[in-house]
């Protein structure tokens, strides 16, 4: 029998019955090891050091957050949920530039004791309002 088989020279075959098993094993291994959780967050580009630009004061909207989490937008106290509306109105009032982006620059200034959570809530609202130019000022208070 053995000699018979040998005669068929071009037909010696690898058994393929285990092919699906091998592939599934590989698949399962990589499925387990691959981390699919994408990183998520709020993107922001920091300004370069030293490059101070003068901006006309009417194009800037100042957002102040104090240590206790109270918020002032252009000297007027605002609650977190209504920031979006206020900023949207201000953006509309200032109009849009040639690139279709709002002219208004929103400057956020916090205290050194302000909670990060409050800051993110405010930043979130400003982003939702459609502001693209957001600047972050040096916090008040001593180091």
Partner 1 sequence: MKFKAKNKAGAEIPQASLPDIIFMLLMFFMVCTVFKEYQGLPIIPPAARSTEKIETKRNITYVWADRNNRISIDDKIITIKNISAIIGEKFAANRRLIVSMKIDKETKMGLVNDIQEQLRDAYALRISYATRFK
Which residues contact partner 1 by CB under 8 A? Answer: 1, 4, 13-14, 16, 19, 22-23, 26-27, 30, 33-35, 38-49, 65, 110-117, 119-121, 123-124, 127-128, 136, 138-139, 141, 143
Beta-carbon-side half-sphere exposure of residue 14 (alpha carbons within 13 Å): 3
72 vs 61: CA distance, rounded Å:
10
Shortest Å distance, C-beta 58 to partner 1: 26
Cβ atoms of 74 and 102 closer than 8 Å: no
Comparing CA positions, the residue from 117, 45, 82 lying closest to residue 73 is 82
> Closer CB to partner 1, residue 1 or residue 53?
1
Q: Please identify, using beta-carbon distances, which residue of 38 and 98 lies nearer to partner 1.
A: 38
């Amino acid at each position: 029998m053995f000699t018979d088989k040998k005669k068929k020279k071009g037909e010696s075959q690898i058994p393929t019955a285990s092919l699906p098993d091998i592939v599934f094993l590989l698949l399962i291994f990589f499925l387990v090891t691959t981390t699919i959780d994408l990183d998520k967050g709020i993107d922001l580009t920091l300004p370069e050091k030293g490059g101070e630009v003068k901006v006309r004061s009417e194009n800037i909207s100042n957002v102040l957050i104090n240590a206790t989490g109270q918020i002032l937008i252009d000297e007027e106290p605002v609650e977190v949920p209504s920031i979006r509306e206020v900023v949207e109105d201000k953006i509309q009032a200032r109009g849009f530039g040639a690139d279709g982006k709002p002219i208004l620059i929103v400057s956020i200034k916090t205290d050194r004791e302000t909670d990060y959570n409050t800051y993110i809530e405010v930043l979130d609202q400003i982003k939702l309002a459609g502001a693209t130019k957001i600047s972050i000022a040096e916090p008040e208070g001593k180091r």
